[in-house]
Structure 1
Amino acid sequence: MAADPLAWWRRQSLRFRLTATASAALAAALAAAAWLLVHVLGSALIDSVDEVAYQRARDVVALAADGRLADPVAVPDGTMIQVLDARGRITNVTPGTDRLVPLADRSWPPDGRGRFLHGEPYGLPGPLRVVVLRADQGRTVIAARSFKEVADSLATTVRMLAVGTPLLLVLLGGASWVVVGRTLRPITELRRGAAEISGTARARRLPVPEARDEVHALATTLNDMLTRLEAAEASQRALVADAAHELRSPLASIRLQLEVALGHPDGQDWRETAEGVLEDAMRLSRLAEGLLTLARLDERRRPARWEPVDLGALAAAAADRYPGVVVRVAAAGPAVVGGDALELRQVLVNLLDNAVRHARSTVVVEVGATGGLAAVTVTDDGPGIPEADRERVFHRFTRLDSARSRDDGGAGLGLAIVRETVRAHGGTVELAGAAPGLRATVHLPLAARAW
């Protein structure tokens, strides 16, 4: 199998990759800028030389037309001039210019455009820029200027760029390395802070940089996550502790009853012992079922099944197991919601268990629908719950003093299961006073809005 050519690159640090990428982009930009500079500068210098040669040729053409052309031709700036007659013989030149060999043969078009010409064959150093113009009487004017100084200047510029550009790239690469390092320093601090957080230092938080940038948002989000994890861990620890406490009482009772029965087998009423052990076993079973239900609700945030459920029919079926419970359906039509019928029935059963346990004589279940929401209300005429405790009773293993009896009170999981189930169905549950008694109200979205 062929090796991945990018594997080495992916193994490098983020700082190295960012610096290398920035340096490569800078190198390309500097190379393009250097080439553009040399190209533009060379073009400008060539145009300047050509312009001077052209103007001198035009001046000679004008002198020839006026009949004032002298020999030698006087040119103030060192431009070399040759004037050829119609037969190609040199008739006029500037001082020091060759009188025998024309700088341009007759094949050159007299269009005034500058062209390069090697000066070595004519004993001249370096290249020349030559301009050819036509004069009257069939004469030709050749103007040439040395390009050596310009070429030397361009060569010097190229050498300076060849040395300076890599040095500038190194400086910019080093600056990028430092800047990227400083930019990534908060992330390094986050990593170190995360490495120092352990099971024995859960309350620590990650360092938050002062700059209001993406790293600041990341650190804030991670700290919020740590807060939620700590809250979840605390909740799990409390759940384990409360579950252990709840399990200890029935297990101790079973153990005590069996030890007494085995210690005094002759005088023991085994039926009474079996009934006591069975009662404690049923309590353990209910506790285990409640814990499993909460675990399933924590694991998934939506019901296992999603189907239309008629709350009126569900309430009537749930109330059949409780003699004396009155069910009233106040909805104009069926109060149908979407969800798991078994889970919603468990909600009603838990609310009815609490209501029946504390009611003096009457429990009323009302089902209605308004504003796109279905409402199920369970009202009893019992002692009620103080307003300060109405939120606390939804916490797991929370039981008020009146419900602490092992025979009459549950494990404190019923209302916690109700709230988690209703939340999973997109609804809410709340408790209110009924003067006398307590009113528990569940709101769920109607099926028309839930589907």
Structure 2
Amino acid sequence: MALGVFGLTVGLALGGVVLLGALRFVLQRNVDTEAFRTADAVALLAAEDALPDPLPVAGGQVRVQVIDAQGRVRAASIDADRLVPMARPEWLDTGHRQRLDVPAERVGLRGPVRVVAVPAGTSADPLTVLVARSMADVRQSTHVVRTILLVAFPLLVVVLAGVAWRVVGATLRPVEALRRGAEEITGRAGAGRLPVPASADEIHRLAVTLNGMLGRLESARARQRAFVSDAAHELRSPLANIRTELEVAQRLADRTDWTAVTANLLADTERLGRLVDDLLLLARLDEMPASRGTGPVDLAALVSEVAARYPSPPVRVEPSPGPLWTAGNEAELRRVLANLVDNAVRHARSSVVLAVEPHETAYHLVTVTDDGPGIAAADRGRVFDRFTRLDDGRGRDHGGAGLGLAIVWELVRRAGGTIALADADGPHGLRVRLLLPTTPAGPEPPPTVARP
């Protein structure tokens, strides 16, 4: 605020100086114009050898003389000196129009005095017309204006500073309210919203944007807390099993079946290792931006490669029309298909069918269909959430932590595709529909994702 008032003061001061300079210049030019007009009229009379005596002038603050090359006064106005020229001959540049400032006592007018010189006469008898005008009125006018500025300038600065203070204060009051709201939210380290001003201006839009950001941050914190809680719970379970096995083996060492204990410990260790690997993968995916893959991948070959890891039946692959290329990371897409097939095999009754075909848009469609119990339509969105395991007939994910489909969701998002769940063609079963962009990647697919 102080800096703004200082800048305003400097600007007004510079404006006042410029105004005084411009006023003085305009008045001085008017004086010179009038003096030259009078001098030209007298020079015309001198050229016609018709100089009256005395020379006519308009106004009492004007003196006129006509002098020759030796500085003698040939004619003068009624109030002008007839013996001493108003400008010495050595001051004059014969044959040129001039403007001179001379002492007031030499002319007999109130100072300062402006004298203009205009050549006249003939080449045989060169003359110079001198017209003197008092600059007292000009000095008086500039003095009055300067006095007015000096008196009005401080008052104007004070008034403008007050207005600026009120206007800036009214403008910054919502910002201060936002600051206090942010300080309160930070102090209690919890959820909250900033006050939104009623005016539909930039501050209103800023408050709405900040509240949206706070809402997203709160949602992210809630997801993070839930993720940490679920991760701790899932990690505690295999650790508790391992500890129980070891304590029982320690107490009953002579009656312990070490083969069974070793098998159980290895199973829990593998489960713990898979869980840690999945958690680390999800953490890396949260930090990395979504991006289309680095190279072309043949979906038909990749589906056949993943299906070859499972016995046939239950897993079989429908024939594809040929190589179907997509832009993506081959390792990530292999992980997607492996997770989907693992999930389908775990819940299928007798068969799992994989198929890949071109879609009507610039996408390829990959489907994984099983004849298991399926998933209710109300649960098809939340199965992609982390640590989600259904308790219905589709069964609990034995040995799993509910991270497989969450990883699938993140990897498909990074590949620029979409995934959705639908009913199979038969009375039972589930079909996973995976849309992946062709090479080169096309536009975004229609919004068919079932996740909320």
State the TM bucket, normalised to the shorter chain.
Answer: 0.7 to 0.9
Comparing 194-203 and 144-153, the one that deviates more: 194-203
Partner of residue 227, structure 1 = 215
TM-score normalized by the length of structure 1: 0.81
| AA of the residue aligned to 1:245 | H
Partner of residue 102, structure 1 = 85
Partner of residue 318, structure 2 = 328
SS in 2 for 1:317: helix
Structure 1 residues 29, 263: closer, same or farther in 2, change over 3 A?
closer
- The whole-number CA distance in structure 1 between the counterparts of 2:410 and 2:70 is 112
Partner of residue 19, structure 2 = 37
8 Å contact kept, 1:60–1:69 = no
SS in 2 for 1:309: strand
Structure 1 residues 294, 142: closer, same or farther in 2, change over 3 A?
closer
1:399 and 2:389 are equivalent in the alignment: yes
TM superposition shift of 1:395:
0.9
1:154-183 CA deviation, whole Å, 9 max, x = no partner? 244345445654664565456545544544
8 Å contact kept, 1:303–1:340 = no
| AA of the residue aligned to 1:351 | L
| AA of the residue aligned to 1:445 | P
Superposed, which structure 2 residues align to 1:259-298 within 5 Å?
A: 259-264=247-252, 268-298=256-286
TM superposition shift of 1:439:
0.4
1:359 and 2:342 are equivalent in the alignment: no
Partner of residue 387, structure 1 = 377
Partner of residue 300, structure 2 = 312
SS in 2 for 1:408: coil
- The whole-number CA distance in structure 2 between the counterparts of 1:46 and 1:193 is 62
Q: Which of these residues, 88, 111, 114, is aligned with residue 126 of structure 1? A: 111
Comparing 192-201 and 336-345, the one that deviates more: 192-201
8 Å contact kept, 2:107–2:132 = no
TM superposition shift of 1:241:
2.0
TM superposition shift of 1:416:
0.8
Task: Specify every segment of 5 or more residues in structure 1 that has no aligned partner in the other structure, as ranges.
Answer: 1-14
| AA of the residue aligned to 1:428 | T
- The whole-number CA distance in structure 2 between the counterparts of 1:168 and 1:218 is 34
1:383-417 CA deviation, whole Å, 9 max, x = no partner? 11111111111111111113786783622111111
Structure 1 residues 407, 250: closer, same or farther in 2, change over 3 A?
farther
TM superposition shift of 1:382:
1.3
Structure 1 residues 50, 297: closer, same or farther in 2, change over 3 A?
closer
Partner of residue 416, structure 1 = 406
Structure 1 residues 404, 233: closer, same or farther in 2, change over 3 A?
farther
- The whole-number CA distance in structure 2 between the counterparts of 1:413 and 1:35 is 77
Task: Specify every segment of 5 or more residues in structure 2 that has no aligned partner in the other structure, as ranges.
Answer: 443-452
- The whole-number CA distance in structure 2 between the counterparts of 1:237 and 1:443 is 32
Partner of residue 230, structure 2 = 242
Partner of residue 35, structure 2 = 53
Q: Supply the RMSD in Å over aligned alpha carbons.
A: 3.5
Q: Which of these residues, 336, 352, 357, is aligned with residue 368 of structure 1? A: 357
TM superposition shift of 1:346:
1.6
| AA of the residue aligned to 1:327 | V
- The whole-number CA distance in structure 2 between the counterparts of 1:406 and 1:268 is 30
TM superposition shift of 1:257:
4.5
Structure 1 residues 230, 404: closer, same or farther in 2, change over 3 A?
farther
8 Å contact kept, 1:329–1:368 = no
Structure 1 residues 58, 245: closer, same or farther in 2, change over 3 A?
closer
Equivalenced residues, count: 430
